[in-house]
């Protein structure tokens, strides 16, 4: 990615998070409900509803719910951008990917699960050297794309406190992987409290500050999520 590509990526991120069902539009995740029409009752015309499901961590049963999205949410009205680091080509790092021979789940703690973990599918390992230290990172399968949830010493200082996300680019037919930390982004939980984001497991916490990619969302009038 070049500096121009980086600018285009930043613009695409702004369009994505501010869309009618972008991260900033999510106002409520309502578990135990599965009727979109009922959820829409009494809502303004700017609100849309989608359905979702998950496994309840206590009962082990499938749980259904709805999400309410407001194209005119308070978060959208107060949003003024995403603070980012300048583009830095030194943070495009090559890694090696090794697949595992069978389905494997790795426990990831989630932000709103009170310390409990959820097994997420991790189909392989990412072997990478960063600032002289070797890491074996776990990126999980997010609807066919590898998603790396990582932490570093900038979290809670200059970047979002709970860590950041990075989509992993694999070269077809090889074990070569590029980790372009310039594309590290604030997870959905940084834009709406109605998300339940995975947190970086211990093996995905880097010792060196990653001063690349997105830092934090910016809002007017002291608005907070």
Domain extents for the chain? 3-219
pLDDT in tens, 168-202: 988 888 999 999 999 999 999 999 999 999 999 99
pTM (2 d.p.): 0.95
What local confidence, expressed as pLDDT, does residue 2 receive?
81
Residue 102 above 90 pLDDT? no
- The Cα 197–Cα 216 span in angstroms is 15
Identify whether the C-beta of residue 190 lies closer than 8 Å to the C-beta of residue 155.
no
Query: C-alpha distances in angstroms, 19 versus 146, 165, 215, 218?
Result: 24, 19, 20, 16
Identify whether the C-beta of residue 198 lies closer than 8 Å to the C-beta of residue 150.
no
Q: Which residues contact 92 (CB under 8 A, 6 or more apart)?
A: 1, 178, 179, 180, 181, 182
- The Cα 189–Cα 197 span in angstroms is 6
Question: Which residues, in sequence order, are bridge partners of residue 148?
Answer: 139, 166
pLDDT in tens, 16-70: 999 999 999 999 999 999 899 999 999 999 999 999 999 999 999 999 999 999 9
Question: Among candidates 38, 42, 141, which has minimal Cα distance to 51?
Answer: 38
């Amino acid at each position: 990615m070049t500096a121009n590509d980086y600018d285009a990526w930043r613009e695409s991120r702004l369009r994505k998070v501010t869309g009618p069902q972008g991260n900033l539009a999510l106002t409520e995740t309502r578990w135990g409900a599965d009727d979109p029409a009922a959820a829409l009752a009494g809502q303004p015309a700017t609100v849309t509803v989608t359905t979702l499901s998950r496994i309840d961590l206590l009962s082990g049963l499938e749980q259904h719910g709805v999400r309410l999205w407001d194209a005119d949410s308070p978060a959208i009205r107060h949003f003024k951008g995403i603070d980012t680091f300048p583009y830095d080509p030194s943070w495009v790092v090559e890694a090696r990917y090794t697949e595992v021979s069978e389905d494997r789940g790795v426990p990831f703690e989630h932000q709103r699960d009170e310390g409990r973990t959820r097994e997420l599918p991790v189909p392989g390992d990412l072997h990478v050297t960063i600032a002289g230290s070797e890491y074996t990172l776990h990126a999980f399968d997010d609807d066919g794309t590898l998603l790396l949830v990582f932490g570093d010493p900038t979290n809670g200082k200059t970047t979002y406190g709970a860590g950041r996300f990075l989509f992993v680019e694999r070269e077809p037919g090889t074990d070569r992987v590029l980790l372009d930390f310039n594309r590290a982004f604030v997870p959905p939980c940084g834009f709406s409290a109605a998300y339940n984001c995975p947190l970086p497991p211990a093996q995905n916490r880097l010792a060196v500050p990653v001063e690349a990619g997105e830092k934090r969302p910016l809002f007017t009038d002291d608005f907070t999520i």
